[in-house]
Amino acid sequence: MTDAHDHALQAARAHYRAECYGAALQAAESAEGFGESTPLLRVAGLSALALDSLDAAIGYLGRVSRADGQTSDDLYNYGIALSRAGRHGEAEPILRRVLALDAQHARAANALAGLCLQCNRLDEAEALYLEVFARDPVPPDAHLNFALLCLRRKRFAEAEHHYRRTLAIDPEHHEAAFNLGSVLLAQGRLEEGWLHYRRRTEPRRGHAAVSVPRLPFARWQGESLAGKRFLMWCEQGFGDQIQFCRYVSLLRAAGASQLEVVCPPPLCSLLARLDGVDRVIPFGTETTFSRPDYWALPLDLPGLFGTTIANIPGPLPYLSADDSLIRQWAPRLPAAGLRVGLAWKGSRAHANDGQRSLPALSVLAPLWQVTGVRFVSLQKGPGEEEVAPFSVGRPLSGLGAEIDSFADSAAIISGLDLVICVDTAIAHLAGALGKPCWVLLPDENTDWRWLREREDSPWYPGVMRLFRQHAPGDWAGVVERVRDALARLAYKQRQQPDQAGRGEREGQP
């Protein structure tokens, strides 16, 4: 090899060690003899992998893995690139080959275990993780991924232990800290849970990190708010923003003199009615702020205010519908019977949407057997198209296509007796409005805010009832229990029409 090749290789390696992966990739690809140089292809492939440029990484690392003198690490890197690209069928034999060459290759055993976990081969994954734990050193991600397996098997104490082991090895492992926070919050151990959950915004979480705006004023850490101007910058999904906008009342009580909220346009008119909000600013506008002293994300606030199960801010309702919109939507609602709103799908962008959303509106078909109930579809977006063909001959009307914002949804819900929905923003909206709401929850990866095993929610006391799957994917069992509860409620209404919906305020059928 020439001096120019050696100089380029040293430069590419230096960029890679400095975590300047783009520069490393460019230096390698532009070097003399790049395509014939295994060392340059290796640096280029690893750099592309670090940049999540998986096609390039697979191409380069695949060539390295087939070159003379390839090592078990070269095969491992190629297997990892294939696995990250979702090409599990190709990745698995590569990783098994690594272990055949080097039985002590803990990273390959860990990667193979992770692949089995992703493919729902939980017994194989657990056996492989136990092999990894018998070696030294144990990769931190082995503890992290085994904790995920424990969660899927509802071994929550074990999951907590392995998250803590990850943090003992690497205190800066923000994904482990975030996941530990979620586990603690789900157990109702809020004080410590908020502390770890705050690390959801750390850039080292990569694509999973909650984005943080670059603002020219201080992020609030609990300083005195007496006479201070405050900006709440909304985060994550619509449901998160609806659930945690309740903290406006605590910010005002702490002395904030002015309060602005930045949020997505579909929420603006709803949050503008929140008591204590001076101004709502939609995302994506050029509107300037009124020079606030502090800002915060909504899910920072529970920890900063020391929220526990016993002191969750209330009371309900803390949101309200616009009277003019209520009058506008009223003629579109059923004139008689028990009026029930439905929402059966959430956003497809949600990480757990495959478990939390119903496969189709038809899953709710048993509810149509209940006499005296009229259903209104609140579904907006995915699933909305199912209403028209399914509603023929059934007591269902679809309003989703005409809903422009959450203010419209709030007005419709205000005219209903009950909302039945999956874990989506509609559940939080109904709860915030003080409307009885039954939430259908998945067995796997149930969101932390619904806690464990409870049939009610301390976030929405007296109005929320939770119907949980008893096995993964068992929506039929959930709907059967909902149907029976709905039949009892409809019977009560027929006996006492003026009491419609009131029996559900304590979550009782």
DSSP labels, 339-396: EEEEE----TTSTTHHHHS-S-GGGGGGGGGSTTEEEEE---STTGGGHHHHTTTSSE
Per the domain annotation, does 461 fall within a domain?
Answer: yes
Regarding whether 393 and 479 lie in a shared domain, the answer is: yes
Q: In the 8-state DSSP scheme, what is residue 422?
A: E
Per the domain annotation, does 61 fall within a domain?
Answer: yes
Measured from the Cβ of residue 441, the count of other Cβ atoms closer than 10 Å reads 17
Per the domain annotation, does 212 fall within a domain?
Answer: no
pLDDT digits (tens, 9 = 90+) for 292-330: 999 999 999 999 999 999 999 988 999 999 999 999 999
Rounded mean pLDDT, 340-366: 89
Count, residues in the chain: 509
Backbone phi, psi, residue 263, to 5°: -155, 170
Q: Which CATH number belongs to the domain containing residue 225 in this structure?
A: 3.40.50
Per the domain annotation, does 316 fall within a domain?
Answer: no
pLDDT at 1 exceeding the cut of 80:
no
Prediction pTM value: 0.86
Whole-number average pLDDT of the chain: 90
Regarding whether 275 and 347 lie in a shared domain, the answer is: no
Regarding whether 494 and 452 lie in a shared domain, the answer is: yes
Regarding whether 225 and 198 lie in a shared domain, the answer is: no
User: Do 319 and 433 touch, CB atoms closer than 8 A?
Assistant: yes
Tokens encoding 79: 């297997």
Regarding whether 305 and 329 lie in a shared domain, the answer is: no
Closest Cα partner for 64 from 36, 46, 41? 41
Per-residue pLDDT at 286: 66
Regarding whether 348 and 429 lie in a shared domain, the answer is: yes
Regarding whether 374 and 256 lie in a shared domain, the answer is: no
User: Do 220 and 230 touch, CB atoms closer than 8 A?
Assistant: yes
Regarding whether 342 and 302 lie in a shared domain, the answer is: no
Of 205, 238, 269, the position where a domain reaches its end is: 205
Query: Of residues 351 and 466, which shows the higher confidence score?
Result: 466
Q: Which CATH number belongs to the domain containing residue 349 in this structure?
A: 3.40.50.2000
Query: Of residues 211 and 164, which shows the higher confidence score?
Result: 164
Confidence band of 180 (pLDDT split at 50, 70, 90): very high
pLDDT at 506 exceeding the cut of 60:
no
Per-residue pLDDT at 338: 95
Type and span of the H or E element at 468: strand 464-468
Rounded mean pLDDT, 405-431: 97
Q: Which CATH number belongs to the domain containing residue 169 in this structure?
A: 1.25.40.10
The least confident of 243-257, 321-335, 342-356 is: 342-356
Regarding whether 198 and 171 lie in a shared domain, the answer is: yes
pLDDT digits (tens, 9 = 90+) for 469-500: 999 999 999 999 999 999 999 998 888 755 54
CA end-to-end span of the chain:
80
* Domain encompassing residue 304: 218-311
Closest Cα partner for 419 from 298, 338, 360? 338
Confidence band of 204 (pLDDT split at 50, 70, 90): confident
Rounded mean pLDDT, 254-266: 95
Dist CA 371 CA 419 (whole Å):
17
pLDDT digits (tens, 9 = 90+) for 57-112: 999 999 989 988 888 999 999 999 999 999 999 999 999 999 999 888 888 999 99
Q: In the 8-state DSSP scheme, what is residue 318?
A: -
Regarding whether 362 and 268 lie in a shared domain, the answer is: no
Per the domain annotation, does 318 fall within a domain?
Answer: no
Closest Cα partner for 376 from 435, 324, 317, 463? 435
Per-residue pLDDT at 498: 58
pLDDT at 206 exceeding the cut of 90:
no
Per the domain annotation, does 306 fall within a domain?
Answer: yes
* Burial category of 322 from C-beta neighbours within 10 Å (exposed 0-12, middle 13-18, buried 19 and up): middle
Tokens encoding 239: 């449901």
Dist CA 380 CA 331 (whole Å):
20
pLDDT at 386 exceeding the cut of 50:
yes
Per-residue pLDDT at 282: 92
Regarding whether 139 and 233 lie in a shared domain, the answer is: no
Of 205, 230, 251, the position where a domain reaches its end is: 205
pLDDT at 502 exceeding the cut of 60:
no
Per the domain annotation, does 317 fall within a domain?
Answer: no
Dist CA 201 CA 99 (whole Å):
36
pLDDT at 507 exceeding the cut of 80:
no
User: Do 47 and 17 touch, CB atoms closer than 8 A?
Assistant: no
Helix (H, G, I), strand (E, B) or coil at 281: strand
Total number of domains constituting the chain: 3
Per the domain annotation, does 394 fall within a domain?
Answer: yes
Confidence band of 509 (pLDDT split at 50, 70, 90): very low
Regarding whether 174 and 279 lie in a shared domain, the answer is: no
Of 286, 311, 336, the position where a domain reaches its end is: 311
∠ CA 140-119-61, nearest 5°, is 65
